[in-house]
């Protein structure tokens, strides 16, 4: 409900009409190993509001799922909505008539109802299943409420169960129908607080708006309570169910809060206060659960995974709640120490029942200068400062330790260079495995990389090591060789030498575009300063060529230096590469047409 409509009405009529609400008071009390859960659902299709659709469902469903050792002792159905009331509905096709009714109003045009029925026999009979409330029809009465965003309908079932694994609890069920804005104070009496450990309070409330949080605050005994992230301290009633984690219960709430720090041993009452600067909220049902029992947390280190050459380790552990009389709550902190220094934290993920346990793992970063053998100490119920947050039956059995052996990578082994043949532009093709031939390794254990970072991250490996073309000259190649359970690193350089030329035994300068010149391969791109001398069979120099002038069979030296083509025959050549690594090449080439 948007507060400005309420203020506008007061200004128009000058007075506030009487409120029809009924005070929330104790309905039933259970003493023993009891706790409760709640299910329910909204009839709204979306959050109500002036711009939303003016529609409402006539049925909706929710699932009940109790553990096998939880025995149902009571189940109470509450339903509520817009207008004066629909008090005859169905639950799983069983007709339900309201045994008690409640009413509230903002003004004469905006009145609301709530209803109650004991459905214990139905819930015991059907047990864990889907429950559907149907024949709950507000279709014909919601239209006048839509323009002010007060159209709503919903239902909830609170299920009280007995479990021999629970501590001795006092469970009180209160109900009525009281509302805000602006301020609401409810005193809950008939309490008997023997121990406040894990004390909790739950609510069934109607018409809360998720997107309205103006000065909205819920307190108990003057202390603000919240259940983040479902119920922030500034928006307690926002369409959620704390038991199921649902966040789409439009304009209704099934919430539960831990209040152990807000109620004291010996208390016989507690004061609930709700303030709201705009949101209109009606409280229909309140349940308190108080106990006098305590958990007892212990822990073991079960295993570890050590990354090769890495000071990051994964620790597997189990938290136990043995020899206890209460559950160990979720989010109980767990601290890890090495060399007496705090190195990491975790927490329990769920409530651990009596004699129950929970296994999990955590990643820890050890100091960079850690020794190969290190002792890890783990302490449950430790916030990292050697202080706990959970009161236990035994505060001296929370730790365990384990010796961890780190996997150290050996020093990098430098291998001889792998020399390639220059194929032009200082590149060559390499079979990288040849650099490792002397090591007698399995190729499936070997990967090659261009950087240590890629090697360590096992990323961007060289895809075809048997046919690799270098990028730089020289170029460093890093090799990762997998070992059990670690790996070794090798490195070698790729260097390039000029390839010797391939000299053909003949050619045919007949202008047929095939083999028309003395095509000495790897010559013109690599040995650019070469000189070629051609002699006839009499020893006369007839041609001198270089990188700009290959021999095409013509004569450019001697008495017949007129560019004529030499006749068929064998000619002697001297090829001087002008490279200090090679002597001149000499031989015969046959010219034929």
More confident residue, 460 or 189: 460
- Looking at per-residue pLDDT, the higher value among 132 and 214 belongs to 132
Q: Which has the higher per-residue pLDDT, 502 or 562? A: 502
Query: Within 10 A of 163 (CB to CB), how many other CB atoms are there?
Result: 18
Q: What are phi and psi of 494, to 5 degrees?
A: -95, 125
Helix (H, G, I), strand (E, B) or coil at 321: coil
> What mean pLDDT is predicted for residues 412-438?
88
Residue 151: closest CA among 240, 79, 43, 235: 43
Return the higher-pLDDT residue of 12 and 392.
392
Could you give the 3-state DSSP secondary structure of residue 366?
A: coil
Taken as a whole, the chain contains a residue count of: 593
| Nearest alpha-carbon partner for 329 in 220, 256, 222, 248 | 256
Instruction: Return the structure tokens found at 406.
Output: 């780190």
Question: Reduced to 3 states, what is the DSSP secondary structure of residue 549?
Answer: strand
505: closest CA among 567, 458, 571? 571
200-206 and 88-91 as β-strands: parallel, antiparallel, unpaired?
unpaired
Question: What is the pLDDT, as a whole number, of residue 19?
Answer: 45
Q: Which residue has the higher pLDDT, 161 or 165?
A: 161
Please report the pLDDT score of residue 118 as a whole number: 98
Residue with tokens 């104790």: 26
Phi/psi-derived region of residue 48, left when phi > 0, alpha when psi is between -120 and 50, beta in every other case: beta
Q: Give every CB contact of residue 444 below 8 A, 6+ residues apart in sequence.
A: none
Instruction: Write down the pLDDT at residue 442.
Output: 92
Rounded distance, CA 432 to CA 462, Å? 10
| pLDDT tens for each residue of 329-371 | 999 999 999 988 999 999 999 999 988 999 999 999 988 778 8
Q: According to the model, what pLDDT value does residue 296 have?
A: 85
- Whole-Å CA distances, 493 to 321, 463, 575: 59, 18, 32
- Helix H, strand E, coil C: the string for 80-115 is EEECCCCCEEEECCEEEECCEEEEEEEECCEEEEEE
Express as a percent the part of the chain with pLDDT over 90. Answer: 63
**Alpha-carbon span 303 to 316, nearest angstrom:** 5
| Contacting residues for 137 by C-beta, under 8 A, at least 6 apart | 58, 86
pLDDT for the residue 31: 72
Q: What is the mean pLDDT of residues 459-481?
A: 95
Q: For residue range 172-205, what is the model confidence (pLDDT) as tens digits?
A: 899 999 998 788 899 988 776 767 778 899 999 9
Q: Span 429-455, mean pLDDT?
A: 94
pLDDT band at 424 (very low <50, low <70, confident <90, very high): low
User: Can you tell me whether residue 554 is helix, strand or coil?
Assistant: strand
Please, which pLDDT band fits residue 6 given cuts at 50, 70 and 90?
very low
For residue 7, name the pLDDT band (cuts at 50, 70, 90).
Answer: very low
pLDDT of residue 484: 81
* pLDDT, mean of residues 415-431: 84
Average pLDDT over residues 265-290: 88
d(CA 410, CA 413): 8
What is the spatial distance between Cα 272 and Cα 173, in angstroms, rounded to a whole number? 14
Burial of 311 (0-12, 13-18, 19+ CB in 10 A): middle
Q: Are 227 and 203 in contact (CB under 8 A)?
A: no
Question: Per-residue pLDDT averaged across 287-312, rounded?
Answer: 86
| pTM: predicted TM-score of the whole model, two decimal places | 0.50
Query: What proportion of the chain, given as a percentage, has pLDDT over 70?
Result: 94
Most confident listed range (93-107, 379-393, 400-414, 471-485): 93-107
């Amino acid at each position: 409900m948007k507060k400005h409509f309420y203020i506008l009405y007061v200004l128009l009529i000058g007075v506030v009409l009487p409120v029809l609400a009924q005070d929330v008071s104790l309905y039933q009390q259970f003493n023993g190993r009891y706790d409760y859960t709640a299910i329910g659902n909204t009839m709204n299709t979306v959050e109500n509001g002036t711009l939303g659709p003016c529609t409402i469902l006539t049925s909706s469903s929710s699932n009940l799922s109790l553990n096998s050792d939880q025995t149902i002792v009571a189940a109470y159905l509450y339903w509520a909505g817009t207008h004066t009331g629909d008090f005859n509905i169905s639950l799983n096709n069983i007709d339900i008539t309201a045994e008690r009714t409640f009413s509230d109003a903002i003004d004469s045009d905006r009145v609301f109802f709530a209803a109650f029925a004991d459905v214990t026999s139905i819930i015991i009979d059907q047990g864990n299943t889907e429950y559907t409330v149907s024949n709950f029809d507000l279709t014909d009465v919601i239209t006048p409420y839509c323009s002010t965003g007060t159209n709503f309908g919903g239902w909830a079932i609170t299920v009280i169960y007995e479990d021999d694994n629970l501590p001795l609890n006092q469970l009180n069920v209160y109900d009525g129908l009281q509302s805000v804005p602006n301020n609401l104070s409810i005193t809950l009496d008939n309490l008997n607080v023997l121990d406040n450990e894990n004390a909790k309070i739950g609510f069934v409330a109607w018409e809360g708006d998720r997107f309205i949080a103006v000065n909205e605050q819920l307190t108990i005994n003057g202390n603000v309570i919240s259940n983040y992230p479902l119920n922030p301290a500034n928006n307690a009633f926002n369409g959620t169910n704390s038991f199921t984690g649902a966040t789409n219960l439009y304009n209704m709430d099934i919430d539960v809060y831990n209040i152990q720090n807000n109620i004291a041993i010996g208390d016989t009452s507690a004061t609930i206060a709700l303030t709201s600067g705009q949101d209109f909220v009606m409280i229909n049902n309140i349940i308190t659960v108080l106990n006098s029992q305590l958990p007892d947390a212990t822990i073991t280190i079960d295993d570890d995974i050590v990354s090769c050459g890495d000071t990051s380790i994964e620790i597997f552990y189990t938290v136990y709640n043995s020899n206890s009389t209460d559950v160990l709550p979720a989010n109980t902190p767990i601290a890890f120490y090495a060399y007496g220094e705090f190195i990491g934290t975790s927490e329990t993920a769920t409530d651990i029942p009596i004699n129950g346990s929970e296994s999990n793992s955590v990643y820890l970063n050890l100091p960079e200068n850690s020794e190969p053998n290190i002792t890890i100490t783990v302490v449950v119920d430790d916030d990292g400062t050697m202080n706990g947050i959970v009161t236990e039956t035994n505060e001296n059995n929370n730790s365990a330790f384990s010796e961890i052996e780190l996997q150290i990578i050996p020093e990098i082994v430098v291998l001889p260079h792998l020399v390639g043949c220059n194929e032009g532009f200082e590149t060559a093709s390499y079979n990288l495995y040849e650099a490792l031939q002397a090591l007698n390794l399995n190729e499936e254990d070997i990967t090659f990389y261009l950087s240590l970072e890629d090697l360590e991250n096992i990323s961007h490996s060289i895809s075809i090591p048997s046919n690799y073309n270098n990028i730089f000259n020289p170029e460093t190649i890093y090799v990762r060789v997998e070992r059990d359970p670690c790996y070794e690193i090798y490195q070698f350089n790729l260097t390039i030498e000029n390839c010797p030329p391939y000299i053909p035994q003949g050619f045919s300068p007949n202008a047929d575009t095939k083999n028309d010149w003395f095509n000495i391969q790897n010559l013109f791109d690599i040995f650019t300063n070469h000189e070629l001398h051609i002699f006839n069979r009499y020893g006369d120099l007839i041609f001198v060529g270089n990188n700009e002038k290959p021999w095409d069979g013509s004569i450019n030296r001697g008495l017949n230096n007129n560019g004529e083509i030499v006749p068929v025959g064998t000619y002697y050549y001297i090829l001087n590469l002008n490279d200090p690594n090679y002597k001149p090449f000499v031989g015969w080439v046959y010219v034929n047409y």
